[in-house]
Amino acid sequence: MNVAKYLLLAVLLLPVMELVAFFAVAAQIGFLPALALIAIGSMAGMLILRHAGGSHIEHVRVALGEGSFTALQADSAGGLTLLAGILLVIPGFITDAMALVLLLAPLRQAIAGRLGSAAPPRGSDGVVDLRPEQWRHVPDPELPDRRDDARKP
């Protein structure tokens, strides 16, 4: 079987695995504490999506509005944090454990490195140099044109 079939099988079995994990945890600590842990995990996921996601949430909205996920490009740290927030929102201990792994910085960097989309090094100014044919100047109607002022002695 190829990777897509394994991934589909894992996604289809996830609810069953989550129920088994919930009953195992509930048997150890009790039903209400297990339910409280699930609720706390979901609330933490919502907080992560609200605060740490920031502009990445807007990228998802734009990508969904265009009807294509090819428009969504997030940097590795922000993208993995966004994925961790989504996993935390999904109720269950397995998805919460996967999210916690993604939230640990060294593991997140290792995962991003394996995916080939490593974040820029610290201290990087984030500037992307484009060749002249890759961009065009679009004047802002609200800003005055100061090119002539800079050329005058």
Domain boundaries defined on the chain = 3-116
pLDDT tens string 35-79: 999 999 999 999 888 876 555 556 566 656 655 554 444 444 577
> Rounded distance, CA 73 to CA 58, Å?
11
Q: Which two tokens stand for residue 147?
A: 């090119």
Please give the share of the chain, as a percent, with pLDDT higher than 70: 65
> Rounded distance, CA 73 to CA 56, Å?
9
| Per-residue pLDDT, 72 | 45
| Per-residue pLDDT, 70 | 46
Q: Quick check: 52 and 74 in contact, CB under 8 A?
A: no
Res 139 pLDDT > 90: no
Give the residue from 153, 11, 147 showing the smallest Cα distance to 92: 11
> Rounded distance, CA 82 to CA 115, Å?
16
Res 109 pLDDT > 90: no
Please, what is the average pLDDT of the chain?
77
| Per-residue pLDDT, 140 | 74
pTM assigned to the model: 0.59
> Rounded distance, CA 111 to CA 114, Å?
5
Helices (H), the chain: 3-29, 31-47, 55-65, 76-89, 93-103, 105-115, 147-151
| Per-residue pLDDT, 73 | 47
* 3-state SS class at 146: coil
Q: Quick check: 62 and 71 in contact, CB under 8 A?
A: yes
> Rounded distance, CA 69 to CA 76, Å?
16
Top-ranked range on mean pLDDT: pick from 17-31, 38-52, 104-118 = 17-31
